[in-house]
Amino acid sequence: MRKLLFIVVAAVLTMFASCDWFKSKKVADSDTTIVAAPAEVDSTLYGKVVDDFGMSTFAVQQTSGQELELLRSHQDGGAAEIYGDVRVGDEFALTTTDGGEALDRAINVTEVKALTNDFKIVNGKLLLNVGTTPDTVQIMTLDADSLVAKGATQVYRLGKAKK
């Protein structure tokens, strides 16, 4: 009889040990890990156009004093995207390609600032309405008087006020 009692007690303890509802919830919670998404690094470079640019090169002087002279054509034969007029002294936001040897995209920040203050440039892409609902836009045209850009849901047409 005593052997039977030990067998029954051992069987009941084995059942309790294998039940999920009996295990502590703290063990399951400690297995969860929180993984934060890495922040996107902004690869945009800023500088002012210097007079050392031509038909095949684009030259800017960064705020650090370093002068960059970049090719306007890529190794694959593609051309750089330059938005806005290129004038000596204008500030540009730019990204490079081909290991930093060629210009990928350049946006005339001086002209954008003359039209709006509600913008940001991240990785060579223009974001409008940063203060309310940020919208990454594709620049259609940019010059000293106007900016036309296509956003996710609308086309932006910004211009200087007529005097």
Q: What is the pLDDT of residue 42?
A: 87
Residue 34 covered by a domain: no
Does residue 76 belong to any structural domain of this protein? yes
Q: Does residue 64 form part of some domain?
A: yes
In three-state secondary structure terms, 12 is helix
Tokens encoding 134: 């940020």
List Cα–Cα distances, 62 to 2, 30, 59, in angstroms.
90, 49, 10
Within a domain: 77: yes
The answer to the question of residue 53 being in a domain is yes
- Domain range for 124 is 45-159
Model's pTM, two decimal places? 0.72
Q: Which pLDDT tens digit goes with each residue over 124-156?
A: 999 999 889 999 999 999 999 999 999 999 999
Q: Domain count of the chain?
A: 1
